[in-house]
Structure 1
Amino acid sequence: MCCVSRIRFSRGLLGKQYFAERYYLNTEFASVDISNLTLTEAHHKVTESFSQQTINFEEEGRERQTSNTNDLGLTIQVEEELAALMTEQKQQNWLLGALSDTQHDYAAQDLINIDDAQLQAVLDANAQTNGQRSLPTDAKISYSETEGYLIEAGQTGTELDNSVLKEQIIQALLNQEAVEVSQAYLQPSVTADNPSLIQELEQIQALTSMQITLTIAGYEEVITPEMIYSWLILDENGEYYFDQEMIYDYLGTLNDAYATYDDYRNFTSTLQGDVQLLPGTLGWSIDREAETENVLNDLAAGESVTREPAIVGIGYNGTLDDIGGSYIEVDMTYQMMYVYIDGVAVISTPIVTGQIGTNTVPGAYAIWNMESPSELTGFNPRTGVDYVQPVSYWLAFDYTGQGIHDANWQPTFGGDAYITNGTMSCINIPTNIMAQVCENIYIEIPMIVFQ
């Protein structure tokens, strides 16, 4: 009995010693049988196994090429994993471990490395895959005449994502299968279900369903969804913006229809009946620069709105009649001036206008400056000298120096007085009447001067 026990003990001791430096029977590492091998032998066998494998590449189901792992610069770093496996084995019952199957899994992508340059060289060397590959296209907003604005789905290109391709090669090595190159195509970074893209489309749809109503001089002009559609531009990246030049041009057509600045006017005068007025400083137009910004702001808000446009100039009163019922009328033929307030002539006075050679320039003007007292300075072309003339009242109506003022030096007013005692284009009236005029008028009151 003692001999039998000694023999069994001796065999057990030998087995334990044997597997102290070797892997148990039926041990696999990455599908490589490393049974009975030392750490060094196992390392050599595993690395040799991977270095001698071939990889079949396919693209969209068509066979492309076969490459050796050496051609890819493939290396596998398994020292630490194999050493850990040996340590784990030593902590087990050697007899149970030797009789059981052991398979060791690991994160292959962490242990296997593929050289980028050698991988690209392998792909480029194959005639079937050589040549220019296409990049993916992101989903974007596009316009269709039949469907309007919509999201155009992104397209997968044929350019490769090498990080994905390398993962596929590793899995192909482990699973003994071909690499499907098309599964490594770069994917669009923006897809049709992108929340930002969907929100942008909703904004565009809201923009192109709103309208902007401009009330101009008592009339309404509607910027319709169809017009907004025509102003909307999508660039090649699917980004949208509004064509500001088109909006600016549209506002120009509204000025053509409504603006009064630099226009001839028909006017019913006190003594001559209907006369035609030349353009002057009176008049208004849509401020196209400011209003273009206003329209863009309305579009950004995305809600229908009714409002007046931005106006520049003098005389806008909500109607096309920028003279209205309150104005100063100067009739140079009859040398008379009238002040009308709300349609009633409150002042009537004879005047003296410009002498021949320094004639008063007719036109539709507006008072833009009032001073009391004032000092007139300038150059007298008739005498050839500069002058300085104090006055009690001064009303400027253009930007070249024409104005209305009292003239206590004038012996008479009205009639033919302008022929011999005419002004240098200003309008002279008696001082006492001038005071009444200033009491009744206001800045920007229209002033009508005609022959």
Structure 2
Amino acid sequence: MRHKSKSNWRVLSIFIVLIAVVYGIGSYYFATNNRFLPNTKVAGINVGNKTVQQASTTITNQLTNRKFSITQNGKTLTSFNTKQVGLKLKSTTALKTTLNKQSVWSWPLHLAHVVQASSTTKLTTTQNSKQFTKLVNQEVTKLNKTRTAGKNGTLTITNGQVKLSNGTQGNKIYAAKLASKLKKALASGATTLPITKAVYASVTTGSDAKIAKKTNAIINEKANYNVGGYKFAIPKSEIAKWLTYKNGQLSLNSTLVKAYVSKINTKYRTYGKKKTFKSTLRGTVTVSGGFYGWSLKVDDETAALTAEILKGKDFTRQPIVQGTGYNTKKQVIGNTYVEVDKKNQKMFIYVNGKLKLKTNVVTGLPPKQTTTTGVWSVWAKKRNATLKGSELDGTKYATKVSYWMPIDDTGIGIHDASWQPTFGGTWYKTHGSNGCINTPPSVMPKVYKLVALGTPVIVF
């Protein structure tokens, strides 16, 4: 019995030694030959006992040339070969990393079952962008033939009442969403892509109660204007017409808002319109021409008004204007101005409604050099200027003056004229200026001091 027991131990010892030798040889083999352990799968492809380059070749051959299916609820909707998208394995870096991380001592376990390495191996793949886009569009067109498009919710306003109708989602597939998921599936080595509602084209259901609440707030807000002193409210019915609702966003119809602002501009602007004026000697007169006046900056005001209305809060605003002489007291010219009466050859200066100065002047020589009628403004003031121009016969001149106040864009202005022996009366008819308002040198310093930049100058 003792002899038999020793024999059994000897056999067991030999067997253990053999296993150890085989285990050692196997470990040494995989450690020194840089090969994947048996039954290792990457992207669903068995690369066991292969080097990185061999594994790359195998993966490339299988990954880039196999059937791929798009499914839904377990049913195959369509399929294609990965060759159609020009799928390629970009590099072997991820395979090298996986190989270096494997434990060579665990190789016997790999003989017993398959080990998926794809969860830790992030393959870098590329697709031919043109081929990929073409295939996605083809598949989406095919898939959408029997699918229903979604319908956005709508917002309607009837008699000042807001109504929201719910939209429907639909099951049309959105190409961009499908493309995104398909790229990830192909890169992971998957052979199927189960699609869900996540790839459907988005719609706005329109059932948001907040939208209805905000819309009502906008329609019922008190929207007031103060345009040049004229105060009025924008009708609620008008604002209701402007409201639009699209893709879950409330906005205003810019064309309609601009039309309304343009209408206000036409009605209240002073630029380019005749101006009625109560003169000192000739009673009420109507004056045409001149650059003095203001108008709304229609585009800027349209944008500003839109933003204000969409806040849904009561407001009173003054519009964005351009030009000169804007005020909020229903005054076109105001009570500070210079009056040039060509018929009576006199100039009057009013400050805050009070006559501060009156003087005789000499205006332009009729009929070709008459001082231009209109309402202008003093846009510059200069001491010791040289006025240059041409006489009617073409002779050029350069005249020095002590005070210069231009009022238009052609070189006409108010200045001292030491060469004039007399002012007022009918002298202008034979010795008139080239268009400027010639003022007595003794009076001009007072004029220069009284008249500020921007002061309107009425010539009639």
Task: Give yes or no for the alignment of 1:349 onto 2:362.
Answer: no
Counterpart amino acid of residue 330 in structure 2: L
* Mapping 1:11-160, distance limit 5 Å: 132-143=145-156, 145=158, 148-155=161-168, 157=170
**Does the 8 Å CA contact 1:158/1:185 hold for their aligned counterparts?**
no
Give the TM-score, by structure 2 length: 0.59
Deviation at 1:244, TM superposition (A): 1.7
Cα distance in 1 between the residues matched to 2:358 and 2:373:
19
2:327 aligned counterpart, secondary structure: coil
* Mapping 1:94-243, distance limit 5 Å: 132-143=145-156, 145=158, 148-155=161-168, 157=170, 189-190=202-203, 192=205, 197-235=208-246, 237=247, 239-243=249-253
1:151 aligned counterpart, secondary structure: strand
Cα distance in 1 between the residues matched to 2:206 and 2:277:
65
Deviation at 1:350, TM superposition (A): 0.7
RMSD (CA atoms): 3.7
CA 185–273 in structure 1, closer or farther in 2 if over 3 Å, else same: closer
Give the TM-score, by structure 1 length: 0.61
CA 242–147 in structure 1, closer or farther in 2 if over 3 Å, else same: closer
**Does the 8 Å CA contact 2:382/2:403 hold for their aligned counterparts?**
yes
Counterpart amino acid of residue 151 in structure 1: L
Counterpart amino acid of residue 263 in structure 2: T
CA 160–398 in structure 1, closer or farther in 2 if over 3 Å, else same: closer
Counterpart amino acid of residue 341 in structure 1: V
1:228 aligned counterpart, secondary structure: helix
Counterpart amino acid of residue 347 in structure 1: L
Please point out which of 404, 408, 416 is paired with 1:406: 416
Deviation at 1:386, TM superposition (A): 2.1
CA 398–157 in structure 1, closer or farther in 2 if over 3 Å, else same: same
CA 146–435 in structure 1, closer or farther in 2 if over 3 Å, else same: closer
* Mapping 1:307-346, distance limit 5 Å: 307-346=317-356
Deviation at 1:430, TM superposition (A): 0.9
Aligned residues: 310
Deviation at 1:292, TM superposition (A): 1.0
Cα distance in 2 between the residues matched to 1:268 and 1:257:
22
Deviation at 1:383, TM superposition (A): 3.3
Cα distance in 1 between the residues matched to 2:386 and 2:255:
47
Cα distance in 1 between the residues matched to 2:252 and 2:76:
57
CA 243–358 in structure 1, closer or farther in 2 if over 3 Å, else same: same
Deviation at 1:146, TM superposition (A): 6.8
Cα distance in 1 between the residues matched to 2:449 and 2:198:
84
Tell me what 1:265 maps to. 275
Deviation at 1:190, TM superposition (A): 4.9
CA 144–295 in structure 1, closer or farther in 2 if over 3 Å, else same: closer
The structure that has the greater radius of gyration is 1
Counterpart amino acid of residue 277 in structure 1: V
Deviation at 1:154, TM superposition (A): 2.7
**Does the 8 Å CA contact 2:151/2:170 hold for their aligned counterparts?**
no
Task: Give yes or no for the alignment of 1:443 onto 2:453.
Answer: yes
Cα distance in 2 between the residues matched to 1:204 and 1:288:
25
**Does the 8 Å CA contact 1:136/1:187 hold for their aligned counterparts?**
no
Cα distance in 1 between the residues matched to 2:453 and 2:254:
35
Cα distance in 1 between the residues matched to 2:77 and 2:437:
101
Cα distance in 2 between the residues matched to 1:230 and 1:274:
43
Deviation at 1:186, TM superposition (A): 8.9
CA 343–157 in structure 1, closer or farther in 2 if over 3 Å, else same: closer
Cα distance in 1 between the residues matched to 2:78 and 2:228:
78
Please point out which of 397, 401, 426 is paired with 1:391: 401
* Mapping 1:429-440, distance limit 5 Å: 429-440=439-450
2:396 aligned counterpart, secondary structure: strand
Gaps of 5+ in 1: 1-68, 74-86, 88-120, 125-129, 162-182
Identity of aligned residues (%): 30
Deviation at 1:442, TM superposition (A): 0.7
Tell me what 2:12 maps to. none
Task: Give yes or no for the alignment of 1:304 onto 2:311.
Answer: no
Deviation at 1:188, TM superposition (A): 7.5
